[in-house]
Structures are given as structure tokens and as C-alpha cells.
Amino acid sequence: MVNSRAEAYAPATVANIGAGFDILGLAVDGAGDVITVELRDEPGAVILSIANDEGKLPRAADKNVASIAAAACLKQIGARQGVGIHLKKGLPSASGLGSSAASAVAAAVAVNALFGEPLRREELLPASLEGEAAVSGYHADNVAPCLLGGITLTNGTSIERIRRLPVPQSVFLALVTPDVAVPTSEARAALPAQVSLKQMVQQTGAVAELMDAIYRDDVVALAAAMERDGVVEPARAHLMPYLHEVRFAAKRAGALGLVISGAGPTLCAVCADEATAARVANTMQEFYAAAGLHSLIRHGKIRTQGAAVTAVS
């Protein structure tokens, strides 16, 4: 069955989760991107409108992650018709919240819904990755949790290389996004080309502890392991305004740990309950305000569902 219109939502994500650079990610409840697709007789995908992007995102179909993902999904389905896309951004670009992944995933999910969902959720990974690749490279640390939900371990770009991990029930997140842009390309350029054997052992040990904490639902151990990144955070710290000062303020407000979300500048604090997460988020925002920086905050649990179809007609 082919519908005339479909809408999908895709959530924000936190890639790396501290020590798990390029292999771990999680979906966050709350803010995300919404895409509405309309059936068109002409093949392919075109952008009809974009809201809340301040005119920054490309409208050209071969440049926008949403239309690229939609076109890839249409091709995978074998559709003769095409789609027009309305994109409503709920996530700022270059923020470390998986903004491009959310647009790509929402587009693929919406197109699939438009055509009666002929593809399983896992089969939407290639189309979502095609869109993400236009901005952030062909990797799934944001796309996988955005599409599938929860916490994902990604060791490749095929669905066979992605594992969904248990979601600890005692983990609450507080996120703050200061009003500065950190493009993924700039964040990657800051990384060291080589690491020492000692660093490698320490980093793999931190990832092992992080995985152990996830499986034991130990929020204290999880926060500690996340902060043991000895490679990526030290190289990128200068790109994050007041990273160490905000970490100190967050912990004084009750946070158990704080890491950079993805490429930044969003910072993600781990808390043991919702009230603490709300307090920590407010504290971080107040710190940035005192420093003369506007910021956005959010708090909540890890989203277990991932992207979702919100309307079909």
C-alpha cells in the first residue's frame, strides 16, 4: 500500500559515550528532527521546506542529508514515484547531538512508511548511512542508536556489525549545548595520528569497564569509565568552552561524571535520578550564562525506541 503522506521523528544521539570513540552511541529522549514526506509522481527526492535551520542547510537534493537518504531508500524499495520533503529541525547543526544522523534516519523511516513499510527497521541502515556520509562520513556511531534506539556497539557499517546493548534503568542524562559550533571535520582534525601502547591499554581498559558497568546497571561505575578517555577528550578539550569548569560545576550539583557528546560542543552529564539531572542541566546553563554564553539544555533517560513513524495518511 502506497500512502500520500508520512511523518517520522528521529532522536538526538550521544556518540562515543566518553571512552568508546567511534564505536559506542546512545539515543536520547526528547529533542529530535521531524520529517514529513509527500508522494510525487516524479522520481527521486526533493526538499520542499526546512524549518528552524536559520537558512544554513542546503536545499539542493544532492547536498542535503535528508534528500540523499530518502533517494537511497526509494532506490532500495524500487519505487517508481518520488517524494517531496519537509524537514523540521529540532537539533542544531555541529552540536555533537547527531543532527545530520537524525535528518537522514527520519527521512529513511518516513519514506519507508510512505510505501507501507516494505523494509524492516534494520534494512534502513544503508540509506541512513548514505545521508550521514554527506556531512560526517560513512560511519554508524550516531546513525545506529538513532535508528534502533538504546545503546549500540558499532564495529562496522553493516547491520551484522552492530549490537544493541542493555539500557541501564538507573541512568539519567543532563545535556548542555553552548552556542558555539564545532564541525565534525574540525574535531577530527584535532585527533592524534598515533597513540602510545600505554594509551591503547588504558583506553581499551576504559571501554571494557564501560561495557561491564552497562551490563551490571552500575551508574557510578559507568560514569567513571566514561570519563577515562585518555585519547580523544585531551585532544579536543580546547574546542569545548570551559569543559573542565563545567564538569566541576556539574559534579557539585550531583552529576557522577561528564563527557563530550560526539564531536561537541554539547556536554553530557551522567546522573542517578531525574531530579538530579534537571538540577545539573540548570547548573550548567547558569555557568555558561555567567560566562556570557547562551546555551540550550535538556535532560532525560536513554531512548530505547529510536526513530518512530508519527503519522501516515
Catalytic positions, written as ranges: 132, 184
DSSP state letter for 160:
G
Name the residue with cell 562520513.
137
Contact 253, 279 (CB under 8 A): yes
Name the residue with cell 530505547.
304
Report whether the peptide linkage leading into residue 183 is cis, meaning its omega lies within 30 degrees of zero: no
Q: Distance (Å, rounded) from C-alpha 43 to C-alpha 242?
A: 48
Instruction: List all residues 6 or more positions away from 47 whose beta carbon is below 8 Å from its beta carbon.
Output: 59, 60, 61, 64, 66, 67, 84, 85, 87
Backbone angles phi, psi at 180, to 5 degrees: -140, 150
Contact 70, 37 (CB under 8 A): yes
Q: Distance (Å, rounded) from C-alpha 226 to C-alpha 244?
A: 15
Q: Which helix (H) or strand (E) holds 126?
A: helix 125-136
Give the dihedral sign, CA 89/191/213/147. positive
Beta bridge partners of 5: 38
Contact 242, 143 (CB under 8 A): no
Torsion of CA 145, 147, 148, 151, to 10 degrees: 10
